Structure 1
């Protein structure tokens, strides 16, 4: 009898960062975040564009889908409702007891309704809800390609869990086993988001801005407060509800207490002045986050015995914390997948359902893959919508031409091949600039990205020359790790060194991205430096450009000098 293919659609939907992934017979056909196609940053809408593209790519219809893997389990929320009654035992938390119990029950029912809605869209499919942290674990471990490792997931909330330590096994049929879990209200992601919002930035979006700001502050002022408020325990950490009241899954309940505000500062308005107290608060928050992440990494090492670590969940995007774990030498190697946040759980959920089905087919196309979204290589380009733009087609020496323009100080958008997975541009949807150009950081922030002047820019470097400039001591293919820098970096490429003496680097190999490897090599021949500034092809508040139209809008509306779009050189 002919083999009937197994078609599993993995979804992250209805919460934030909607995304979809498709596994056919265990092979990853593709993955893309909906925002890259819909232009709505962090969208929570059902990922219609993403799903349509995946089915088209595989030559399938909605009726061919056997299983829909969803990244939450509704029943797990319900368990927290009776558990919330323990809050009634303390005068500090008593007023949140019933609202918290009601909130978790309400989300459980809402999640159940969402599963029914998905079932109606895919009538032949079984809808399989996957435990959120298991989806994170599988997304990280399967992407590593390792046969075994410790897996640490730290986020804001998945059903009840906020932190899990697991062991991962088998590169071909990846599976994980959770060894320890920390439940809400102890949540590092909740703390970071709450303080981000207090400092005047968007929670769930601009935590990276607070991480950058932290380098300009002195943590001493609020160090003792955070040591009290986020206390380490033998197997993890706990929050003091006097500073961070227990979460209520309904709006209208503040995330910070009056005591926290009295002992730190009033809430900053987004357009308000940035004061030393704000810098110091960010610095203390970041320092405590790094300490707790190191503590959790050490715990993962002890209970798994593994010499390798995969890290997932939203807090894994805190690249300075990841850098600290690597520097501490707890593990031989640390891996963060290209999409460690919720979007990546679309892949993790699909892998989980495939593994649980006991299919004899191995998982393929996930390990060490980051260019997973749509490509527009053969699409005709009509510039009539952008009357100020003009194009010319380049010849075969495109990389040499681009390196030459960059060496002469141009800031260039690059749109080539498949869309990257995750929050970082990795050379396919990037803005590139020379780190040797005087004032380049100021120019990028002010006229191209339209963002805060203290925000640093990340370098991409030829992997074979990385050790001359960076002290990390391992590859960093997805720009998810902050590294210390060498004297040579400080001397030659100071533009990519942040105030804390680190850089969030991307190491580039020929096998990972042949074109970017060629560009970096050509730039090095002209300048003696195999390093470029690489930031995402977007402006502040907009998603990374997933389509040619989005990229052309970005060129037309920003201070970009030019856009290299699939071999076409487009200027104003």
Structure 2
């Protein structure tokens, strides 16, 4: 039987990624382009970068010369045709004529200024034209393979396919909420009987994603760099500001499952001006005012999402919710969904943003080729789908570096590492295959002892070099979740924030945020036996089944990808120990 591979390429201009499925629907590789390039978000880079893509085909697609390849991207042909039309009409000129400027302003009311909209469409056009070209050329020239089929899928459909087909649900309500899709920022689907059916979508430029972008900008963070995280981290330091609430709430509202402008979109500029004037002219500390703005913006976002979800629930598709799109990265809100909406079960994949659409596109091409194939899973999709650092790289380092402070502990590295953590050491930890998605889930992590009150400040000053208000995550043995969190929910991908119980706060101060919450990772033997064994050893030593976990990088850089990346962070930061597979490297 001829081998088949289904390759999805996330073709949004930000957060490009690749996913490879085999003929049975197994995800055999998935990785964000930023990891290989070590360029945060990899803006404007194709998911199938030259040279690199050939290596991945050789690594993950045996018999590539004889196999059949189905290549799919994550924006539809109609959408790409529209982008091409805009290009031909001159819309991407950064100094457009008055007629074009008026046309944009009239036809596309947006929460973004016109110049940002022009930039966005320009980048989208370039990305969708180039994505897939390198892969197709590589297959034809390097493998002499012309058995290639190409597809372009609707953007929100790729989001929904990823969340539906990677879940363990046999039926679900699938909601996609992001900055913008092909017609709007919200789409919802019914998943049942192995089929994904679009039930409705919002039309227009109103957007909860762009609303949060606005809050990010007003707080003087950079949404292009993905700094919405900072708003979430800052918000608990603030309180509701009634003036900000009234101003921001004057912009949009929820109508059924749609986002609508309440007033003329031009009001946005007035709101921005009033808030900026207040921030700059206030006698209060700027930090306090921005914290209040972040809190109020997060509060409104949560209220909008709760209203949207409860309206969607009334349609009666399913009590299981599969949530995706960029807004599904708001872990501070995600922890409220089960308690504050009518949905009974929640699933959010490890990469709900645009990088995850690569898996969704690959799933859709598989379904198109094999429409009767059953997609229901019996276990959670592993997030550990990326690159692996092999032992030979470490052996070469030992041989040529002259470093004598390297030990190998086959089958015992988790025990050795647990002892080092209990001694207060800061550890760079790399095991097995890298995580797919933005969170470090115990395979590319910086780890520390959560019992030390000053540990957060130590990591920020010695390694992460970031703002002190940003919290660090608790990775907890899943079987202890109910002992530490109120209304505990399993959170395998660090996708939701929950509140710690009062009686445990003094045990783990380094991972408790100012509002008594933690964005937790529930660690199970099934998904990550090595990381589970490490935390279990730490628990045996300390009586605490939690360790502090943050991504293995420094601020502004992606999570490490190669052994060289790991060494760079290790020797240029305050890490004490580097653990790669079974090797322990000390300074």
1:101 and 1:212, CA in 2 relative to 1: closer, same or farther beyond 3 A?
A: closer
Q: 1:12-63 CA distances to partner (integer Å, 9 max, x unpaired)? A: 1461112111112022221111222221111131233366325422224478
Match runs of 1:339-378 below 5 Å: 339-363=351-375, 367-378=380-391
Aligned residues: 551
Give me the whole-angstrom Cα distance separating, in 1, the residues matched to 2:153 and 2:422: 49
Alpha carbons 1:78, 1:105 under 8 Å: kept: no
Alpha carbons 1:37, 1:50 under 8 Å: kept: no
Segment of structure 1 superposing worse, 476-485 or 213-222 = 213-222
Give me the whole-angstrom Cα distance separating, in 2, the residues matched to 1:463 and 1:486: 16
1:110 and 1:465, CA in 2 relative to 1: closer, same or farther beyond 3 A?
A: closer
Aligned to 2:143: none
Aligned to 1:46: 46
How many Å apart are 1:368 and its aligned residue? 2.1
Where 1:76 maps in the other structure, the secondary structure is helix
Q: Is 1:223 aligned to 2:245, yes or no? A: yes
Give me the whole-angstrom Cα distance separating, in 1, the residues matched to 2:380 and 2:357: 15
Pick from 388, 393, 400 the counterpart of residue 415 of structure 2: 400
Give me the whole-angstrom Cα distance separating, in 2, the residues matched to 1:412 and 1:114: 37
How many Å apart are 1:488 and its aligned residue? 2.5
Backbone CA RMSD of aligned residues: 3.2
Q: 1:184-237 CA distances to partner (integer Å, 9 max, x unpaired)? A: 311111121233133222214110111111111222241111221122223332
Q: 1:532-560 CA distances to partner (integer Å, 9 max, x unpaired)? A: 11111111111111221111111111111
Give me the whole-angstrom Cα distance separating, in 2, the residues matched to 1:33 and 1:55: 18
Pick from 8, 20, 23 the counterpart of residue 21 of structure 2: 23
Gaps of at least 5 residues in structure 1 are 246-255
Give me the whole-angstrom Cα distance separating, in 1, the residues matched to 2:440 and 2:491: 13
Q: Is 1:510 aligned to 2:510, yes or no? A: no
How many Å apart are 1:278 and its aligned residue? 1.5
Alpha carbons 2:73, 2:361 under 8 Å: kept: yes
1:186 and 1:435, CA in 2 relative to 1: closer, same or farther beyond 3 A?
A: same
Give me the whole-angstrom Cα distance separating, in 2, the residues matched to 1:360 and 1:218: 52
Give me the whole-angstrom Cα distance separating, in 2, the residues matched to 1:277 and 1:40: 32
Give me the whole-angstrom Cα distance separating, in 2, the residues matched to 1:515 and 1:554: 23
Segment of structure 1 superposing worse, 410-419 or 322-331 = 322-331
How many Å apart are 1:473 and its aligned residue? 2.8
Give me the whole-angstrom Cα distance separating, in 1, the residues matched to 2:214 and 2:122: 23
Alpha carbons 1:217, 1:283 under 8 Å: kept: yes
Give me the whole-angstrom Cα distance separating, in 2, the residues matched to 1:218 and 1:302: 32
Where 1:570 maps in the other structure, the secondary structure is strand
How many Å apart are 1:159 and its aligned residue? 2.1
Alpha carbons 1:213, 1:282 under 8 Å: kept: yes
1:265 and 1:388, CA in 2 relative to 1: closer, same or farther beyond 3 A?
A: farther
Q: Is 1:326 aligned to 2:348, yes or no? A: no
Aligned to 1:277: 289
Pick from 171, 178, 181 the counterpart of residue 148 of structure 1: 171
Give me the whole-angstrom Cα distance separating, in 2, the residues matched to 1:102 and 1:520: 46
TM-score where L is the length of structure 1: 0.88
Give me the whole-angstrom Cα distance separating, in 2, the residues matched to 1:317 and 1:518: 28
Alpha carbons 1:20, 1:50 under 8 Å: kept: no
Q: 1:288-324 CA distances to partner (integer Å, 9 max, x unpaired)? A: 1111111122122111441111110111010011111
Q: 1:353-395 CA distances to partner (integer Å, 9 max, x unpaired)? A: 1112235544588942211112224333233787778311124
1:39 and 1:88, CA in 2 relative to 1: closer, same or farther beyond 3 A?
A: closer
Alpha carbons 2:241, 2:293 under 8 Å: kept: no
1:397 and 1:27, CA in 2 relative to 1: closer, same or farther beyond 3 A?
A: closer
Q: 1:104-124 CA distances to partner (integer Å, 9 max, x unpaired)? A: 699568735656676555553
Gaps of at least 5 residues in structure 2 are 87-101, 141-145
Where 1:66 maps in the other structure, the secondary structure is strand
Aligned to 1:165: 188
TM-score where L is the length of structure 2: 0.86
Aligned to 1:248: none
How many Å apart are 1:398 and its aligned residue? 1.8
Give me the whole-angstrom Cα distance separating, in 2, the residues matched to 1:106 and 1:562: 41
